[in-house]
Each structure stands twice: as structure tokens, then as C-alpha cells.
Amino acid sequence: MKDYDDLDFFGDEETDSEKNKNKKSEELEKILKLEEEAKYNFDAENLEEIINFYFDNYEFEKALSYVNVLLDIYPYSTDAWHKKALILDSLGKFSEAIEYFEKAILLDPTDKEIYINKGITLDNLEKYDQALSCFLKAVEMDPYNPDALFNMGLTYEKLEKFTEAAECFESVLKINSEHKDAYYELGYCFDFLDMLTESINAYDEHLKYSPLNYTAWYNRGIVLNRTGKFLKAIESYEMCLALRSNFPSAWYNCGNAYASVGRLHKAIECYLKSLELKKDDPFTLHNLGNAYEELGNFEMAISYFSEAIKADHYNYESYYGRGNCYFNFGSYDKAIEDFNSAIILCKDYSEIWYLKADAEHALGKIDDAVKSYSMVVKLDDKNYDAWYDYGCALFDAKNLTLSMKAFDKAIKLNPQWHEPYYEKAKIYFMKENTESGIEMVEKAFELNPSDRFEYDLENDWKKLLQFLVNR
């Protein structure tokens, strides 16, 4: 993992660059002389120096050719077999590398470094159980070997065994309390284990040693966001972006944090930055739609939700968001069309059914509204508002018996709510059960005294009915 701590913003970059060039030139000159000598004098030390030079400079094919020469001369050299395995690993030839690690182990079964490097290659091959066996073998030889413990932790992470991984990284830190990468990985594990405070603390420790690691600032922001500390999350994302401005995910999540604290214009700025770097990203387009919707700018919201749908036809939330905007515009037919599309993709989300029912009710499609409300209360049977609206739709459909049951359910879920009592009063009056109707009106007045007015049933009958009809 890159942490960019080697960047020096205050040094003389030109001088440092010249020094590095001169040093590399001297090394290359020396290696070329050694290569010339190697044609006539197969000296092991010289060959090893040549191999190491090319290996360290990522010229693995050249390193491989010289290690083969070394092995022809010294076929029982453990270090040579080990080096060949490392070179093959660097070339991505992992299966071949394993073969040479095993040859090295045959020559020296007590060398823990060979087991560690073999484990890393097995990890590259996604043979995680075999990799763990190698790391455990190294730990048996040296219980305080930080490399074995650290790499074992990385393999446990890939197996999503985050508890075991965290234990490995904690063991590393007991050996070396300044192991910056162990703090980083520990932060990652604690995040997955929902140990969010511990995760933040681990990232903080890592950043003491690697303050220029933009991914650590980013991950820290993610965890802070999960804890609801949105302003601190924003600070962390902005540190990340100061170090790496072309990081679309950081702009996106920074936008989410701004949206969470209601700073929607800043959120929009961040989302637009993210889109510059990652064009047509459906999540960013969707969240732009959300932000504009919250600002009441439904035209812009519809535009971005439409772009999000073009980018991802299977995101039900974008259909739902656009449908909600159409609903707010009073374009109920378009809203219903979007809600139907959303339901095809996600039929178990009660809120979609609820808005669909409201739109159908507004258009006078009472039978459709009744069916949709029935789905809402099926999916969310504790929603007293939905039971109330279901009752109203049933009332409009002239199904007074089921309507009464729906209002009873709303009252059971929220006994202090007065509105269902008024609706029940209407039903009783329609059934010519005046006594029960008056009882319901009085109960509603009791719960909401501000509605009360004096009436005489014989003389104010029309006044009372008008009051109920107007509700």
C-alpha cells in the first residue's frame, strides 16, 4: 500500500533528482563492468549483485537470466532458488514460483523467510488456506516475526475473517508499536467488525506516521460518516482531496456528508466534481437528483434522475425519485409510470406502493388505489398513516365494512390520533347509526379540543355533517 511519505515538499527537488541520477549512473556503470567480468569469471558474489540490481530496478527478465546462470554453477544454493522464486512471483508467474520456493525449502527447511514469501505467492494464487499454513509455519519458527503475522492478517482479510485478521495486526503492534501499515489494516478490520471508534483510532495512529496517505484519510471519512460525525467526515474527505484531487469516490462521499448536514449546494458542487472524473456514474447522478429534489428544484431533479436511469436501468431508487418529483408537479400519470417501473425492480418497498396509491387516489383511480394501499399495509402493517389512507380509499370505493376495519387498525396503532374517529363517524352516520357517530365525534373532540364547536344535534345536523365532509 502506497503512503507517499517519501514526498519532500520542502527539499531542493532538482538537487535530489540530480543526486539520484548520479547514484543510479554509478550503480549502472558498476553493474555493466560486473556483467563484462561475468562472461569470463563466474563469481557468485558478483552474480548476486547483478541479480539484486536488476531485481531492485524491476528488470525481472534480466534478473531471471542471471539467476539461471548462478543456479547452473551453484545448484545447491538455497538463496539462488529463493531469489528465482521471488523473481517469478514479480513476473506474475505464481505457479512456477511455488515450484522454486519448494526447492529452496528442501535445501533449508528452517528458513522462515522462504515460508513467508511462499505464503505471499500462494495468496496471489488465491490459495488462501495454503498461504495461511505457510505463515503459521513461519510463526512456529519465530512467534514474534512481524512479517509473518502481518501477511497472515492480510490473507485473513481476503477470507473476510476480520476478527482473526485484527488479532494478527494487534500482535504485530505488540512487537512494533510504530508499524504504520498494521494500524491501517486494523482500521479496515474494525470498520467491518462495526467497531467504529476503534477503527477511527487505528486510522488516527496510522496517520501520525503516514500523514500523506490519502486512502487512510478517505477510509477514516467513511467510518466517521457511519458514526454520524458528518462534519468530521467532511474534514477527512477534504484532507484526502487536498492530497489527491482526482479521486471521484472521495468527492462523491464528501457530497454525501454535506447532504447529511443539509448543505445541499456544497453537496452538489462535490457531486459535479465527481462526475467530471467519473462520467455517467449512476450513483452520483442519482444523488444530484436527490439534492435538487430536497431543494425543491424538481425540474433539475427530474433531469438528473433521468440521466441516472440512462446510466443504470435497474436502479429502482432513481425511478422512485423521479416519480416523486412528477408527483410534486401534479403529473400523476408520469409518476405512476415511474412507480410501476420501480416496483418491477423492487416490489417489497412499501414507500413506492404508498406514493403510487396516493397518485392513483388523486387521479380518482379508486380501485387501483385500494390495491396499492393494501400492498402498503401488507408490507408495513405498523404504519397507521397507511391504514388511515387505506380506509379513506375503501370509503371512496363504498366498501364501508373494510373501511371501518382499516380505521380501527389505525386507532389501535395510534390511539391518540383523532382523524380516524371522524372517518368512523361518517360511516356510522351513513349507516344511520347516529348514536355511534356522535360518540366518535365526541372522542375526536376529546383528543383534539381545538376542533370542538357547540352544536345541537336536532338543529345543527347539517353543520355537523358539513364539518365531517370538509375534513
Tell which wins on pLDDT, 447 or 456.
447
Query: What's the rounded mean pLDDT across residues 243-253?
Result: 98
Mean pLDDT estimate for the chain? 91
- How is 210-229 classified by DSSP, letter by letter? -TT-HHHHHHHHHHHHHTT-
Q: Say how far apart CA 367 and CA 361 lie, in whole Å.
A: 9
List pLDDT tens digits, range 71-113: 988 999 999 999 999 999 999 999 999 999 999 999 999 999 9
Q: Which of 108-112, 291-295, 465-469 has the lowest mean pLDDT?
A: 465-469
Tell which wins on pLDDT, 455 or 186.
186
pLDDT at 471 over 70: no
Handedness of CA 169, 170, 175, 178 (dihedral sign): positive
Query: What's the rounded mean pLDDT across residues 280-299?
Result: 98
Scan for cell 370542538, then name that residue: 452
- Confidence category of residue 467, pLDDT binned at 50, 70, 90: low
Query: What's the rounded mean pLDDT across residues 140-164?
Result: 98
Looking at residue 452, its pLDDT comes to 61
List pLDDT tens digits, range 410-422: 999 999 999 999 8
Q: Which of 5-9, 113-117, 170-174, 274-278 has the lowest mean pLDDT?
A: 5-9
Are 379 and 390 in contact by the 8 Å Cβ rule? The answer is no
- Confidence category of residue 193, pLDDT binned at 50, 70, 90: very high
List pLDDT tens digits, range 3-17: 333 333 333 444 455
Looking at residue 360, its pLDDT comes to 98
| 247 DSSP 8-state letter | -
pLDDT at 47 over 90: no
Cα distances from 453 to residues 26, 97, 407, 423, 463, in angstroms, run 101, 91, 23, 18, 10
pLDDT at 349 over 60: yes
| 431 DSSP 8-state letter | T
Cα distances from 234 to residues 158, 210, 237, 422, in angstroms, run 29, 19, 5, 49
List pLDDT tens digits, range 19-34: 555 556 656 566 565 5
Looking at residue 449, its pLDDT comes to 79
Query: What's the rounded mean pLDDT across residues 336-343?
Result: 98
The structure's pTM equals 0.83
Looking at residue 10, its pLDDT comes to 33
pLDDT at 395 over 70: yes
- How is 391-458 classified by DSSP, letter by letter? HHHHHHTT-HHHHHHHHHHHHHH-TT--HHHHHHHHHHHHTT-HHHHHHHHHHHHHH-GGG-----TT
Are 425 and 444 in contact by the 8 Å Cβ rule? The answer is yes
Q: Say how far apart CA 122 and CA 180 lie, in whole Å.
A: 24
